Structure 1
Amino acid sequence: MKKNFRNILFLLLGSSVTLLPSCKDGFSDINTDPNTTTDALPEQLLAPALVNTLNYNMIRSRNFNNELMQVTVDMSDAEGRVFRYDIRNTWSDYTWNGWYAQLTNFKDLYITAKDPINNNRSYMAISLICQAWIYSLLTDTYGDVPFSESNKAKTEQIYEAKFDSQKDIYFGMFAMLEEANSLLQGPNLPAINAASDPVFSGNLTRWRRFGNSLYLRMLMRISGKSEVSGEVIAKIKEIIDTKNADYPKMTSLDDSAILRWTGIAPYTSPFIGVRTQDFSSPAIADFFISHLVAWGDPRIDISTYGSSGINRWAIAQGPGGFAGVDSGYEPGTPVVKQSYFYSTTSARSLQNDPLTGMIMNYAELQFIYAEAAFKGWINGNPATFYKNGVINSIKQWIPLWPEANIDTYLLNSDMQWSDNDSDNDKMEKIHLQKYYALFFNDLQQWFEYRRTGHPVLPKGPGLKNGKVMPARLNYPVYVQSTNPTNYKKAIAAQGEDKISTEVWWQKP
């Protein structure tokens, strides 16, 4: 039995993209010449790895993050409901297996791009950015995870990788992003095949801007950790202020890192695979919808879309109009389903929306600036950054929304910035608006809530786990059998393998 588990681990950590069943039809047609190509080329590896990673991210964003973060409510009295913080161990396997499999593919991309035959430092840099992105998802979800020895079953015959500390993982990711930024510097960058890049269509300037914006997301994530805060805050200032030109970052919505689904294979949203009745089954949570209604938010304004009668976020009205269900209600409590997300049976649906392939958007970066500015870490007016964040959060979904409406929007929603607000109130405003900017952006809402405690979520009477937001997912059960020595070392260092055990950056 142990041998079988080890074989499974080998496939997860050592396989190449051609072994993965989740690759969609059509990838083999991208720049493939069967008469001359015996090994995978960089342009053949990038798109499948990106699409597969987004598949895992989006599925868990819908059925895990949205339930925890009161976007939706499962409407079930059964046990194991995520919205009640009742999380079974089996939730762990899906993203662990998927993300590590795609890391193998991105590492293969780096190796093939570095080969003297290909010699393409642009693909090398993209690989490093994507590896840092996936490792950040892994460590923010589980805590200490295999990093320095991961995905080396094929290349170095390491079948039982050690679990690195989250601190070491973060600084390892920073090194990756520094290298990527350097590789994408200077003139005469080797081009990449635009058809191989479904995110930026071969635009290397935008890849570099995304990498450095991702760097700021990660720095902000650990900025509250006392043992590294001084160093981290100094780096944030360096990237934004003192060495701004050396670290180009997103400058507009056009720079947002989004894999836009075209509806044509292989670029079809994974939500299409969800049965239509299942997609519209969860109710919208009261927390999510009530703010949008109170603000008169254009993302649920039917008039924006004329006679179609469907708003941009494709939210259906329930018996009470645009209304939600209280999350965390007690089992056995009579609850009436209200609003829900339309499925593809309607004229518009998030099931096939091109913008749900979200990796990082420009609005998020503006909210990072706003937080850093009000805390005094960087130059600039936090009110300006905050306003830019709100504008671009809306315009991401409604490009024609007039920016001139922003002051009225903020005034009517009582969300205008005030320097007289307490620090706690400023954080609440930033992160409530950021919450909507992170809509369907993998697990970022959950990560940011765990970092900041914002936005403040109501606590329903039916919550488990002591009514405390889960701090992590447990490790997959099979890891205890395939990597027992390192698993035991990990829990000895980090704490019990429970959802209540805080990860390194959550602790003071």
Structure 2
Amino acid sequence: MKQIIYRITGIALLCSMLFSSCTKDFKETNTDPNGTPTALPQQLLAPALVSTMTYNMLRNRNFNNELMQITVDMSDAEGKVFRYDYRATWADYLYNGWYSELTNFKDIYKAASQELTYNPSYMGISLICQSWIYSMLTDTYGDVPYFQSNLAKDSGIYEPAFDAQKDIYMDIFKKLEEANTLLSTGTGINASSDPVYYGNVARWRKFGNSLYLRLLLRLSGKAEVADSCIAKIKEIVDLKASSYPVIASNDESAILRWTGSGPYTSPYSSNVREQDFRSPGLGSFFIDNLSDWNDPRIDIPTYGTNNINRWGIAPYSGRFEGIPSGYSPGENPVKKAYFYSNTSTTSLQTEPLAGMIMNYAEVKFILAEAAAKGWINGSAETFYNDGALNSITLWLPAWSVPITTYLTAADIQWIESATLEEKMERIHLQKYYALFLVDLQQWFEYRRTGHPSLPHGSGLRNNGVMPARMTYPVYVQSTNPTNYRIAVNNQGPDVISTQVWWQKP
């Protein structure tokens, strides 16, 4: 018995010595003395931007474009978005993806605020990107986790509270104010870490303030905050323009240009098969307008072969004619135009400009609406014409037809004597094309304004009413049940017909 006790004691002592030697100075001996224990801002920015754009572009293609009558995924099957036939499975992809990337953008801010790696420009860029993603989240779902989101690792909050959309927007505005101040220092960043502006922090500042205008305009019709939002728009545009520079040319547009090299390969090419890309037909609203206007984006075959133009639109049997969206099952319309796709040649599937975040034309149409409503100085007509011109020249820089000539020939010229509602329809019809490929912004703007006027097919579900939101992912009901129930109680039923805060009267 004594021998057994001695052996056990000896083994225990040996294990203790081994454990001690294995763990002694563990942190020091397992840390690279030439590196950093956490990722640097310049290591995180590009991957986070690429991933965010991947989520945006794929849902732009198969959700936004179907709702907004750009494409029609022709089928009599259940769950077709162009008929407003929403399925709960649509909810997860953006919700999961956007929150995942918020972690990366928050880590950029955290790393850039440390003493050894302090860089106010990366902090400002992080705040802009957080504001961009949070705005898309709340505009898509309504009330969502905000103040307690992405805190599981640092604070152990695994069931975050859902915040009211109003509170989310008010804090986004604070973030954008802080970003404008941080970026005003002009501190340099690593150009290779930035696939949007290649290290030009002044342009990031302009994008942040332009995003500010977009979001202020979105709340401008909500009575309880309208006055403050309109006053801020005027401050940015008229009263303190030098303190709030905005995007001022197509070159300054926020675009992640897909070069096709390494990680900068378009998701339309890497994530979507050729046959799937060209499978949907083009909606008649989208293509018939362009055809009627003799719009150069489809009329000029800039790629020289296969009659393919700058937007990669191919005619069916030589005809540019679209499919009526929302048609009833059994009608079986013929596809007469579609987005051409060929990964071995230039098409929209490999188009560098498809990584659209916010462009100059959108800024001009924001200003046109504000001027038409008397909120800012300047001519609504001039802003409108500039928006239409730059919407075209972003894609066709060499196009030289006077914009008034084009607009008049197409019968879409500005009419000063028109009613405000008629002016809004004209502005938002052109803005609809400026927002082509820009995440879900066409859908958001339609929900805000009701413009442009879209035809209603006989096969539409949801009583023919445009869906007001996506539902929350089903798993949230089981993983965050208490806060889910509070959110539904505050906002309304978790269905697509429940309007978000800024849509309600």
Name the TM-score, length of structure 1 as normaliser: 0.92
Q: Which residue of 2 aligns with 1:29?
A: none
CA distance, structure 2, for counterparts of residue 345 and residue 46 of structure 1: 27
Q: Which residue of 1 aligns with 2:383?
A: 385
Q: Deviations over 1:20-70 (max 9, x none)?
A: xxxxxxxxxxxxx99524320110010000000000000000000000000
CA shift for structure 1 position 190: 2.5
Q: Deviations over 1:428-449 (max 9, x none)?
A: 1100000000001000000000
**Structure 2 unaligned runs (5+)?**
1-31
**8 Å CA contact retained: 1:301, 1:312:** no
**8 Å CA contact retained: 1:310, 1:348:** no
**Structure 1 unaligned runs (5+)?**
1-32
Q: Which residue of 2 aligns with 1:193?
A: 190
CA shift for structure 1 position 315: 0.6
**8 Å CA contact retained: 1:73, 1:285:** yes
Aligned mate of 1:433, from 419, 423, 430:
430
Whether 2:271 is the aligned partner of 1:284: answer no
Q: Deviations over 1:318-370 (max 9, x none)?
A: 13600100000000112111100111157331111000101000000000000
Percent same amino acid among aligned pairs?
A: 65
Q: How does 1:89-168 map to 2 (within 5 A)?
A: 89-168=88-167
CA distance, structure 1, for counterparts of residue 212 and residue 315 of structure 2: 39
Q: Which residue of 1 aligns with 2:38?
A: 39
CA distance, structure 1, for counterparts of residue 346 and residue 420 of structure 2: 40
CA distance, structure 1, for counterparts of residue 367 and residue 94 of structure 2: 30
Q: Which residue of 1 aligns with 2:13?
A: none
3-state DSSP class of the match of 2:215?
A: helix
**8 Å CA contact retained: 1:310, 1:347:** no
Q: Deviations over 1:384-423 (max 9, x none)?
A: 0000000000011111111x42111101111110111111
* Corresponding pairs, count: 473
**8 Å CA contact retained: 1:308, 1:347:** no
Q: Which residue of 1 aligns with 2:461?
A: 464
CA distance, structure 2, for counterparts of residue 290 and residue 440 of structure 1: 18
**8 Å CA contact retained: 1:342, 1:348:** no
Whether 2:55 is the aligned partner of 1:59: answer no
3-state DSSP class of the match of 1:227?
A: helix
Aligned mate of 1:341, from 339, 342, 358:
339
Whether 2:204 is the aligned partner of 1:207: answer yes
One-letter amino acid of the counterpart of residue 409, structure 1: Y
Q: Deviations over 1:235-270 (max 9, x none)?
A: 110010111111011110111000000001110111
Q: How does 1:220-299 map to 2 (within 5 A)?
A: 220-272=217-269, 273-299=271-297
CA distance, structure 2, for counterparts of residue 451 and residue 385 of structure 1: 20
CA distance, structure 1, for counterparts of residue 247 and residue 254 of structure 2: 9
One-letter amino acid of the counterpart of residue 292, structure 1: L
CA distance, structure 1, for counterparts of residue 35 and residue 425 of structure 2: 57
Q: Which residue of 2 aligns with 1:375?
A: 373
Name the TM-score, length of structure 2 as normaliser: 0.92
CA shift for structure 1 position 307: 5.3
One-letter amino acid of the counterpart of residue 91, structure 1: W
One-letter amino acid of the counterpart of residue 486, structure 2: K
CA distance, structure 1, for counterparts of residue 174 and residue 345 of structure 2: 46
CA distance, structure 1, for counterparts of residue 33 and residue 431 of structure 2: 47
Q: Which residue of 2 aligns with 1:494?
A: 491
CA shift for structure 1 position 202: 0.4
**8 Å CA contact retained: 1:415, 1:429:** yes
- Calculate the aligned-residue CA RMSD, in Å: 1.2
3-state DSSP class of the match of 1:112?
A: helix
Q: Which residue of 1 aligns with 2:4?
A: none
Task: Label 1:129 to 1:34 Cα distance change in 2 as closer, same or farther (>3 A).
Answer: farther
Q: Which residue of 1 aligns with 2:452?
A: 455
**8 Å CA contact retained: 2:144, 2:164:** yes
CA distance, structure 2, for counterparts of residue 345 and residue 150 of structure 1: 39
**8 Å CA contact retained: 2:307, 2:314:** no
**8 Å CA contact retained: 1:298, 1:304:** no
Q: Deviations over 1:447-466 (max 9, x none)?
A: 00000000000000000000
**8 Å CA contact retained: 1:181, 1:208:** yes
CA distance, structure 2, for counterparts of residue 496 and residue 51 of structure 1: 34
CA shift for structure 1 position 303: 4.3
CA distance, structure 2, for counterparts of residue 303 and residue 179 of structure 1: 45
**8 Å CA contact retained: 2:71, 2:282:** yes
CA shift for structure 1 position 304: 4.1
CA distance, structure 1, for counterparts of residue 81 and residue 262 of structure 2: 32
Whether 2:83 is the aligned partner of 1:84: answer yes
CA distance, structure 2, for counterparts of residue 256 and residue 308 of structure 1: 30
Which entry has the higher C-alpha Rg, 1 or 2? 2
CA distance, structure 2, for counterparts of residue 313 and residue 306 of structure 1: 13
One-letter amino acid of the counterpart of residue 289, structure 2: H
CA distance, structure 2, for counterparts of residue 433 and residue 161 of structure 1: 40
Greater Cα offset, 240-249 or 462-471: 240-249
